[in-house]
Amino acid sequence: MTRTIYYTATTLDGYLADPDDSLDWLLRQPQEAGGAGDYDSFIRGIGALVMGATTYEWLLEHEQGVWSYELPAFVLTHRDLPSPRSTTNGGPADVRFRQGGIAELGQEMRDAAGANDLWVVGGGDLAGQFADLGQLDEIVTSIAPVVLGAGRPLLPRRLDLELMQVERNGAFIVARHRVLGSLAEDQERSSSSSAQRAAEV
Ligand SMILES: NC(=O)c1ccc[n+]([C@@H]2O[C@H](COP(=O)([O-])OP(=O)(O)OC[C@H]3O[C@@H](n4cnc5c(N)ncnc54)[C@H](OP(=O)(O)O)[C@@H]3O)[C@@H](O)[C@H]2O)c1
């Protein structure tokens, strides 16, 4: 069954990028190819990917309009964004622009992934949109030894997670968490306020 996995690097204080969308702090960190959380092993299990517009624009700018992903890639945006060329054949890349709710789009993305998993590339709110619907299964983070104090948040939601695995790769802590759902305290609060409303009717 297709799982939805948010696989990303983050600072120790939970930022994907600095306030100017710079990843310079990340790109200079030493990492061992083939080690824990290694991209090549991860991508072998992926059938499709999804990202928000800022992440897409960052990739286009830093890869000079050339697209190295061979898998179907969904880009969520309200704007008309340029399509890249594929690195492999020079033709148009399989980039599918969509907008709207994950409730409507999630199934199309999982279907595109086939028997493999769906990779949520980022940003954090997009991962949160999947989590809001209970459709985010796992989070794999490579945590860099950096704090930024401000920036683009890793996952701006209140969720309980279960730690499944922790390893080290070069400068990074690589952690795999299963998403359990809304924070237990929030679930209790919402069920006690529904019980109170029911008692008042
Ligand atoms: N550290 C890492 O490994 C890593 C991984 C991923 C990303 N990043 C970086 O982190 C930053 C993330 O940026 P971000 O927080 O702005 O998030 P983002 O998800 O990349 O982009 C957010 C934008 O996506 C569009 N969007 C999101 N959900 C949508 C929906 N349901 N329907 C239509 N459009 C939707 C909206 O853009 P419009 O309305 O303008 O179209 C929204 O403003 C970027 O700098 C990226 O490069 C880092």
Which whole number is the average pLDDT over 124-142?
98
d(CA 195, CA 201): 10
Count of Cβ atoms closer than 10 Å to residue 52 Cβ: 20
Mean pLDDT of 59-77: 91
State the distance from the centre of ligand 1 to the C-alpha of 56, rounded, in angstroms. 7
Tell me the sheet residues that pair with 5. 119, 138
User: Quick one: what percent of the chain has pLDDT higher than 70?
Assistant: 100
**What residues make up the domain containing 163?**
4-200
Looking at residue 87, its pLDDT comes to 81
Using the atom order of ligand 1, give the atom closest to the CA of residue 121: 6
* Protein residues whose CB sits closer than 6 Å to any atom of ligand 1: 8-10, 16-17, 21, 23, 26, 51-55, 58, 76-79, 99-100, 121-126, 129, 152
Q: What is the mean pLDDT of the chain?
A: 95
CA trace torsion 55, 30, 68, 140 (10° rounding): -60
Confidence grade of residue 201 (pLDDT, cut at 50, 70, 90): confident
Residue with tokens 């997009």: 126
- Yes or no: say if 178 and 46 are a contact pair by the CB < 8 Å rule: no
Q: Please report, for the domain that includes residue 103, its CATH number.
A: 3.40.430.10
Work out the pLDDT band at 40, boundaries 50, 70, 90.
very high
pLDDT in tens, 162-199: 999 999 999 999 999 999 999 999 998 888 888 888 88
Q: Report the atom number in ligand 1 closest to the C-alpha of 21.
A: 45
Total domain count, the chain: 1
Q: What is the pLDDT of residue 126?
A: 98
Is residue 120 over pLDDT 90? Answer: yes
The count of residues in the chain is 201
What are the b/e assignments for 60-76, b being 16+ CB within 10 Å?
beeeeeebebebbbbbb
